[in-house]
Amino acid sequence: MGKITTSVPVVFFILLAILIEPSLAQVPTHELVVENILAPQVLPGKSFNLTFTVRNAYKFEIENIYVQLQGGYPFLQISPTEAFHLDYLSPGESISISKFQLTVDSNAIAGDYTLNVILTYTAFEPGKTPYVSKISTERITITVSGKPEILLSVTASQPEKIRPGYAAKIALKASNFGTDIAKDIWVYPLDSYPFEVLWASQAIYVGDLPPKSAIVETIQVEVNESAEAKNWVLPIRMIYANKYGVATSKIVNLSVKLEPTAKFEIIGISSDPKEIKPDDKGDRIFVQIKNKGTATAKEIKLNLRADYPITPSGKTYYIDSLAPGETTACIFHIDVDSDAKPQAYPVDVQISWTEGVDHLVDTKSTAILVSPPIYTRTYLIVGGIIGIIIIAVILLRRRKK
């Protein structure tokens, strides 16, 4: 049986052999065969021991055998670096070698990779004296396993700045930072104050994602108008499987920033004259508004919007700025149709303003009360008095009887 001994690095031996006989490096003789390759599960970033068998497939004895591994990506380190020396192998004889340890790059993608087993030896050939020196390369395949690792991040939104009370589209980037394919990826955004996920975004199928690749999906949410301007958490549940069908489920908490914004409220409404009547022209309406938000509004424009029987007759009302907590009154003019009935009529105040470079618009609703005309009141009073007189006369007649 062949004997293994440790020798000088095989590199020196190979170079010396090539210098003596340059054709040696070009002879894949396969007289020595590498087989029965064994390796445990090979994972990125881990080391493993490789075992294989060298067999003499030649019909004559082979002597002075050197066995060396020649690596390449993703095998970063092979230990030991010295070649193993076998004194000889008889025809058909084999020997198992299990001394090589290899380290795999932590970023290696799952797949099949090749290693070269460099064999240098001398073999007896009839008619040639003494033995002939040869070099042979045997390729072996190592399968590197991996696992998918999906990470989510927010890449953009529409609008770019999300504020309380907005409906927003949020772009989510799913990236596979793992070393194997992620299959059947599902994304489930979850309702969490101040976000309400719209129905169409509650379940999104992403599909498969190879390692070191990414894809962007968009979800839609509505933001509670009472939310504070700060960073909020939007939870996302993800489910995906590896290539063997083993599922992973996890929740990722994404940070979504709500920007400060002005928030207008109508806190009072009055008029001049005090009572608005049918067929009035140019009546003044005083609307008190307050900025209950967290940002200063500038270049504020207010317009009154109304339907029959009220017609706004004035122009746009302008305010330079309104800081958080400040209150101001704006003045509008209206005409009232002569056929207007005495009741409250809804009206809207459209407010537009700027915050930095952003132009924002909001609408607030209130009501204008139309009172009965004067002549109607007079008729009612006179009618009431006459009614009282008639009742009194009837009662007096009954007493006299």
Q: How far apart are CA 272 and CA 161, in angstroms?
A: 41
Neighbours of 100 (CB within 10 A): 20
* pLDDT at residue 22, rounded to an integer: 41
Closest to 326 measured CA to CA, from 354, 299, 351, 290 = 290
Task: Decide if pLDDT at 184 tops 80.
Answer: yes
Q: How far apart are CA 380 and CA 113, in angstroms?
A: 101
Each residue's pLDDT tens digit, 213-234: 999 999 999 999 889 999 999 9
The string of DSSP letters for 261-314 reads ---EEEEEEEEESSSB-TT--SEEEEEEEEE-SSS-EEEEEEEEEE-TTEEE-S
- Cα-trace Rg, the chain: 44
Q: How confident is the model at residue 126 (pLDDT cuts 50, 70, 90)?
A: confident
* pLDDT at residue 400, rounded to an integer: 58
Q: Domain extents for the chain?
A: 4-144, 150-257, 264-370
Buried b (16+ CB within 10 A) or exposed e, 151-164: ebebeebeeebbbb
* pLDDT at residue 255, rounded to an integer: 96
Q: Which residues contact 312 (CB under 8 A, 6 or more apart)?
A: 303, 304, 305, 306, 332, 333, 334
Pairing status of strand 344-355 against strand 297-306: antiparallel
Q: Which CATH number fits domain 4-144: 2.60.40.10, 1.10.10.10, 1.20.210.10, 3.40.50.1860?
A: 2.60.40.10
* pLDDT at residue 77, rounded to an integer: 83
* pLDDT at residue 393, rounded to an integer: 62
Q: How far apart are CA 122 and CA 31, in angstroms?
A: 11
* Residue 182 contacts residue 237 (beta carbons within 8 Å): no
Q: Taking residues 278-282, report their average pLDDT.
A: 94
Structural tokens at position 233: 């958490």
Q: Do domains 150-257 and 264-370 have the same CATH topology?
A: yes
* pLDDT at residue 127, rounded to an integer: 72
Q: Which residues contact 379 (CB under 8 A, 6 or more apart)?
A: none
Q: How confident is the model at residue 133 (pLDDT cuts 50, 70, 90)?
A: confident
Q: How confident is the model at residue 3 (pLDDT cuts 50, 70, 90)?
A: very low
Pairing status of strand 358-369 against strand 75-79: unpaired
Q: How confident is the model at residue 375 (pLDDT cuts 50, 70, 90)?
A: low
Q: How confident is the model at residue 1 (pLDDT cuts 50, 70, 90)?
A: very low
Confidence (pTM): 0.67
* pLDDT at residue 132, rounded to an integer: 77
Task: Report which DSSP code applies to 178.
Answer: S
Structural tokens at position 308: 């029959």
Buried b (16+ CB within 10 A) or exposed e, 187-209: bbbeeeebbebeeebeebebebb
Backbone angles phi, psi at 393, to 5 degrees: -60, -45
* Annotation: CATH topology of 264-370: Immunoglobulin-like (2.60.40)
Task: Decide if pLDDT at 191 tops 60.
Answer: yes
Q: How far apart are CA 121 and CA 132, in angstroms?
A: 8
Q: How far apart are CA 390 and CA 401, in angstroms?
A: 17
Q: How far apart are CA 15 and CA 163, in angstroms?
A: 71
Mean pLDDT across the chain: 87
Each residue's pLDDT tens digit, 38-52: 988 899 999 999 999
Q: Does domain 150-257 bear CATH number 2.60.40.10?
A: yes
Each residue's pLDDT tens digit, 60-85: 889 999 999 988 899 988 888 889 99
Q: Which residues contact 249 (CB under 8 A, 6 or more apart)?
A: 237, 238, 239
Neighbours of 14 (CB within 10 A): 18
Q: How far apart are CA 228 and CA 34, in angstroms?
A: 69
Pairing status of strand 195-197 against strand 182-189: unpaired
* pLDDT at residue 182, rounded to an integer: 96
